[in-house]
């Protein structure tokens, strides 16, 4: 039996591309976004009661994930990208159905739009459903996961003088926590696990309308080189 679903809205996110998005939600509290609901869910009635809710579960479509043959086993970055485990033991984007689930912080409701933070969702992501986080049911103190018992240790971040000056200026222009967002995301070490750190290799990622460039000085330290506005014509 086949099922079809229609998006109820779209997520507008600070992440303009997949690279450097945190691999789990809430790891970057400065990651901000907005949920725009489609009719008829854009009416106040649909969100009545959420003013008393601090966090939300979002169900969404991995619309930019690669598709193809069924993936029964995957190589999670958390395990160095070299060890295969079953797809259902991971949160890989290659799913039997391209559905993602994230918990985010609800910061407010304005003009029918939900203001959220701590997200790990690409800009333009179709939203399938919203459910309130229920602490007594959703938080399980005795829960365990042998493959991901603790969050990964963050790596150290340093800034070039130029990059920090640029980021601070762009934060004022956007009225967004640009410096904190970049630090929180890059501290998660977004480079592919199979690549060895090298100062000669530069990386780049898009946050809002900014292109951030960095390189690794060693396995525990990266340096941000520049933060430049993206030309909208390109």
pLDDT, one tens digit per residue, over 35-77 is: 999 999 999 999 999 999 999 999 999 988 766 667 787 777 6
Average pLDDT of the chain to the nearest whole number = 91
- Cα 55 to Cα 115, 132, 153, 159, 162: the distances in Å are 11, 6, 24, 32, 37
In percent, how much of the chain has pLDDT > 90? 69
> What pLDDT is recorded for position 152?
79
Where are the domain boundaries for CATH 3.30.2310.20 in the chain?
156-229
- The whole-number average pLDDT for the span 7-21 is 95
Give pLDDT, residue 232.
67
The per-residue pLDDT for range 74-128, each reduced to its tens digit, is: 777 666 666 788 888 888 888 888 899 999 999 999 988 999 999 999 999 999 9
Q: Are 139 and 55 in contact (CB under 8 A)?
A: no
* pLDDT for the residue numbered 228: 96
Where in the chain are all domains bearing CATH 2.40.30.70?
9-138
Whether the model clears a pTM of 0.95, i.e. scores above it, the answer is no
Residues in a beta bridge with 92: none
- Supply the pLDDT for residue 79: 62
Asked if residue 40 has a cis previous peptide bond (ω within 30° of 0), the answer is: yes
Which of 189, 187, 212 has its CA nearest to residue 202? 212
Fold of 156-229: YaeB-like fold (3.30.2310)
Classified by CATH at the fold level, domain 9-138 comes out as Elongation Factor Tu (Ef-tu); domain 3 (2.40.30)
């Amino acid at each position: 039996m086949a099922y079809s679903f229609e998006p109820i809205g779209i997520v507008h996110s600070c992440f303009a591309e997949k690279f450097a998005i945190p691999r789990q939600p809430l790891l970057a509290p400065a990651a901000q976004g907005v949920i725009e609901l489609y009719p008829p869910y854009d009416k106040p009635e649909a969100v009545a009661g959420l003013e008393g809710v601090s966090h939300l579960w979002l169900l969404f479509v991995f619309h930019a994930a690669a598709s193809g043959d069924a993936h029964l086993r995957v190589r999670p970055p958390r395990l160095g990208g070299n060890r295969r485990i079953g797809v259902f033991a991971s949160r890989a984007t290659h799913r039997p159905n391209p559905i993602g689930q994230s918990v985010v912080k609800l910061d407010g409701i304005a003009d029918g739009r939900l203001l959220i933070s701590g997200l790990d969702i690409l800009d333009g992501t179709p939203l399938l459903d919203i459910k309130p986080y229920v602490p007594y049911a959703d938080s399980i103190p005795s829960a365990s996961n042998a493959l991901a018992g603790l969050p990964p240790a963050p790596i150290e971040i340093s800034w070039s003088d130029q990059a920090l000056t640029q980021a601070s200026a762009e934060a004022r222009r956007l009225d967004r926590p640009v410096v904190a967002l970049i630090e929180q995301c890059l501290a998660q070490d977004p480079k592919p696990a199979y690549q060895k750190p090298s100062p000669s290799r530069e990386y780049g990622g898009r946050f809002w309308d900014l292109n951030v460039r960095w390189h690794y000085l060693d396995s525990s330290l990266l340096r941000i080189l520049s933060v430049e506005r993206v030309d909208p014509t390109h």
